Structure 1
């Protein structure tokens, strides 16, 4: 550390150099991710390239082997032709000597046939050597061909001169010319040259066969190497595929675990929210009960006492002060309206009929009052005797009926209402149907309207089922089904005002 240099200044260069390794690591991570994602494509591409290259190598090897086999066959054929040529040249010499010892036309005929075969063989070998382009062999063959042609020419002349069918004068002259020709002493030279060419062709055929065998071995090794490479690539590909499948299985298993955890958490939260909603509804009902009791006890007593005082004063002033008595009579009417309003508010908060007489009587009273206010005709299917269902269930069913009738009065424009309550040993069911305009389809999906959320929550909190549907041809039907439970708790009884 330099004098006056702080530790922070000391560390600063290292911090400035830190982004470079981070960038390298980022690129390496991207490369690894790319390789994991596209390794199968790379492997398939390499396998295809190797396969195509192997096919090209095999095809070129096959063509070389075919060419080498053809070369070997041509060399074998040339060897056979050279052997045949040597035999035919020996036959020419034998025919010539046999005719010299015993003039016979058969020797002449055989000599001519053999001469034709020799010429054809010479022409075929000449074409072969010119085709392969072997200048050394072509030069040796040219000497053999010249010697063979000379041998045929000499034999032809000797046989013609020795022919007994010729005249005597011509025969004498021909004999002298024949005696002047050199003897055929080229047999040993021809045999040596032909043996050398045969040896050369045998070596050429053997070399071609050895080259074809080597090419076959190379092709076999190439095929084996290509097969091994493809096997390795496919093993790597399937290994990578297995890794990917295993990774996907682990990811899917993790997702399933997370989904199960989320479902459990959602279920717990839903249960907590339902319990909280039920608690809030219970608190709200209790607060309404307390408020109703206070309104009944405090406000009711005040209004009643005021009414009694005003009535007493009106009785005293009725004869002496008729104008004041009339005002007091109007005040008594206002007090009666206040008392009626107080009763209606208390009934809305905590219906005394439900607390005192039970659910069946409370529903019948609620429906009758709603019918009187709205001019409805009522069709009810309620039990003849009241049943005890428990305070919580009775309040929930009463609030659902109250909210349903309120919605029908506000929105349905109905003229007829049907209310049915069915109670058995296990369940209690409430259904309310109107003949109004019917709930809209969008409102069936948007359950946040018309107080449906509150009704659903009340019913689901008690383990029940809430259903609402549009009735054909018009109208709305609401049905509630809840498990029945009996409660021994004493209901809150509010005395009538």
Structure 2
């Protein structure tokens, strides 16, 4: 069990690494870049510090050389004065002394800041010797002068004793050599740090390049994988759409078949009711009427009962007629759609007290039987809904035909259909109308009116089925054409 758990954990970790590899690589690249920038900045500061130390050491070397030169010039001025007693040589001696003291002060600041204790002690000793050398030379010129000299510009001249010039020169040379070595070491360290920085920058750049290559490669793989998955999804979606379309066509065909079967069954049932039940009811009515006439004088009580039986038979015949009309309107079969719509609308208007606005063609239009049935059933259901729910006072019916299609528009001024009712899937009346129209390849639209009420529009394609005379002859041959037999 532990092995299975470890394998599962490893699989999950691998999957997580695969899905998060781009984020990990980006994070590592950012960390490496930031670390590289810190390293490079530190190296830059070190290189700048070492280069500055080299420059200071070189400057100290130059100053030590200048100090040695000034000391030589000062000794030359002293020797010339002792030979010529020229006041200009005395003044030049003091000028050199001033330059020497200035150089010593600058070097003293440098050695106190940058040199170690041994170098600082050596420079302090040489500074004292130089000061003694200046004072000794000034005293020598004062003793040898034919008249008192103004040597205040030379500074303090109270120092006693002679100073070994070779000691001063050798010490200055030693200090100069040390500073040159210090400058060279600083330059070497600076170059080494530069090489290290270059190698580090190159290594970090190469590592980042490798990481970005891996990152983009992984992104490319993921993009390809997503493209394949998307292509598969598109293929599956197309297959599902094709399957849905096929199932939709099958359902439409089934719906059309069921409607055709239903209409055929209604026609068959209407024919049987008309032929069988109508004959029975008519025969019974005739027999009862004959018995009533025979017993009218002999037995008035029985005659009265028979009269009520005749009234009941009349009600049955009327009920049978209404049922037949609902199942298979005889007026539609005998006279066509225009007359059937006018009759249907007039009867509905009389029952509900509507103000009727009919805009129907003056003559019958040539339509196939199934199209006429579909339009009549839509009108029948629409008027039934208007009577049940709309509370309308006016109904408009418009029927037009042309350009290969027939259009039916039914509108009322009632309360109007609610948006929620348009989305209800269990509204069988609306579903039936939609199905009838869709089965004929037409368009069905129902919506609230612009001001109030409900608008229903149906558009069906028209197929020419022959002349109006041919249609009339076909209607005359239908079984429903014997509707008047029941009234005998």
| Shorter-normalised TM range | 0.7 to 0.9
Match of 2:153 in 1: none
Question: How far apart, in 2, do the equivalents of 1:35 and 1:279 lie?
Answer: 58
Q: 3-state SS of the aligned residue for 1:485?
A: coil
Answer whether contact 2:133 2:162 (CA < 8 A) is retained.
no
Match of 2:461 in 1: 483
Q: 3-state SS of the aligned residue for 1:414?
A: coil
Match of 2:92 in 1: 110
Match of 1:91 in 2: 73
Alignment pair present for 1:356 and 2:342: no
Q: RMSD across aligned C-alpha pairs, in angstroms?
A: 2.8
Question: How far apart, in 2, do the equivalents of 1:69 and 1:359 lie?
Answer: 109
Match of 2:157 in 1: none
Alignment of 1:53-64 (within 5 A): 53-64=35-46
CA gap 1:273/1:163 in 2 versus in 1, 3 angstroms: same
Structure 2, unpaired ranges of 5+: 149-159
CA gap 1:126/1:405 in 2 versus in 1, 3 angstroms: closer
Question: How far apart, in 2, do the equivalents of 1:362 and 1:435 lie?
Answer: 23
CA gap 1:256/1:188 in 2 versus in 1, 3 angstroms: same
Residue 329 (structure 1) shift: 2.0
Answer whether contact 1:355 1:493 (CA < 8 A) is retained.
no
Match of 1:71 in 2: 53
Deviation string, structure 1 residues 283-308 (Cα, Å, up to 9, x no partner): 11111112112212221222122222
Residue 462 (structure 1) shift: 0.2
Alignment of 1:431-446 (within 5 A): 431-446=409-424
Match of 1:140 in 2: 122
TM-score by length of 2: 0.86
Deviates more, 1:388-397 or 1:229-238: 229-238
Answer whether contact 1:275 1:461 (CA < 8 A) is retained.
yes
Match of 1:296 in 2: 274
CA gap 1:215/1:299 in 2 versus in 1, 3 angstroms: same
Question: How far apart, in 2, do the equivalents of 1:140 and 1:476 lie?
Answer: 116
Answer whether contact 1:407 1:450 (CA < 8 A) is retained.
no
TM-score by length of 1: 0.84
CA gap 1:286/1:89 in 2 versus in 1, 3 angstroms: same
Residue 482 (structure 1) shift: 0.5
Residue 36 (structure 1) shift: 4.1
Residue 350 (structure 1) shift: 1.4
Alignment pair present for 1:47 and 2:33: no
Answer whether contact 1:356 1:493 (CA < 8 A) is retained.
no
Answer whether contact 1:401 1:432 (CA < 8 A) is retained.
yes
* Aligned partner of 1:164 among 142, 146, 155: 146
* Aligned partner of 1:250 among 228, 246, 257: 228
CA gap 1:374/1:156 in 2 versus in 1, 3 angstroms: closer
CA gap 1:129/1:296 in 2 versus in 1, 3 angstroms: same
Answer whether contact 1:88 1:118 (CA < 8 A) is retained.
yes
Question: How far apart, in 2, do the equivalents of 1:408 and 1:165 lie?
Answer: 146
Residue 52 (structure 1) shift: 2.6
Residue 373 (structure 1) shift: 3.1
* Aligned partner of 1:344 among 322, 327, 332: 322
Question: How far apart, in 1, do the equivalents of 2:329 and 2:256 lie?
Answer: 19
Answer whether contact 1:378 1:416 (CA < 8 A) is retained.
yes
Question: How far apart, in 2, do the equivalents of 1:400 and 1:457 lie?
Answer: 10
Q: 3-state SS of the aligned residue for 2:380?
A: helix
CA gap 1:426/1:83 in 2 versus in 1, 3 angstroms: same
Answer whether contact 1:360 1:385 (CA < 8 A) is retained.
yes
Alignment of 1:29-428 (within 5 A): 29-165=11-147, 186-424=164-402, 426-428=404-406
Answer whether contact 1:389 1:484 (CA < 8 A) is retained.
yes
CA gap 1:316/1:127 in 2 versus in 1, 3 angstroms: closer
Question: How far apart, in 2, do the equivalents of 1:213 and 1:346 lie?
Answer: 113
Q: 3-state SS of the aligned residue for 2:408?
A: strand
CA gap 1:128/1:470 in 2 versus in 1, 3 angstroms: closer
Answer whether contact 2:271 2:479 (CA < 8 A) is retained.
no
Deviates more, 1:220-229 or 1:299-308: 220-229
Match of 1:430 in 2: 408
Question: How far apart, in 1, do the equivalents of 2:479 and 2:403 lie?
Answer: 26
CA gap 1:493/1:80 in 2 versus in 1, 3 angstroms: same
CA gap 1:406/1:182 in 2 versus in 1, 3 angstroms: closer
Deviation string, structure 1 residues 216-237 (Cα, Å, up to 9, x no partner): 2222222323333333333333
Q: 3-state SS of the aligned residue for 2:324?
A: helix
Question: How far apart, in 1, do the equivalents of 2:67 and 2:43 lie?
Answer: 35
Residue 483 (structure 1) shift: 0.5
CA gap 1:148/1:451 in 2 versus in 1, 3 angstroms: same
Question: How far apart, in 1, do the equivalents of 2:368 and 2:22 lie?
Answer: 68
Question: How far apart, in 1, do the equivalents of 2:383 and 2:53 lie?
Answer: 110
Deviation string, structure 1 residues 258-310 (Cα, Å, up to 9, x no partner): 33222222222221111111111111111111211221222122212222222
Q: 3-state SS of the aligned residue for 1:451?
A: helix
Deviates more, 1:198-207 or 1:98-107: 98-107
Deviates more, 1:108-117 or 1:401-410: 108-117
Match of 1:493 in 2: 479
Structure 1, unpaired ranges of 5+: 1-16, 167-180
Residue 182 (structure 1) shift: 8.5
Q: 3-state SS of the aligned residue for 1:301?
A: helix
Q: 3-state SS of the aligned residue for 2:416?
A: coil
Q: 3-state SS of the aligned residue for 1:283?
A: helix
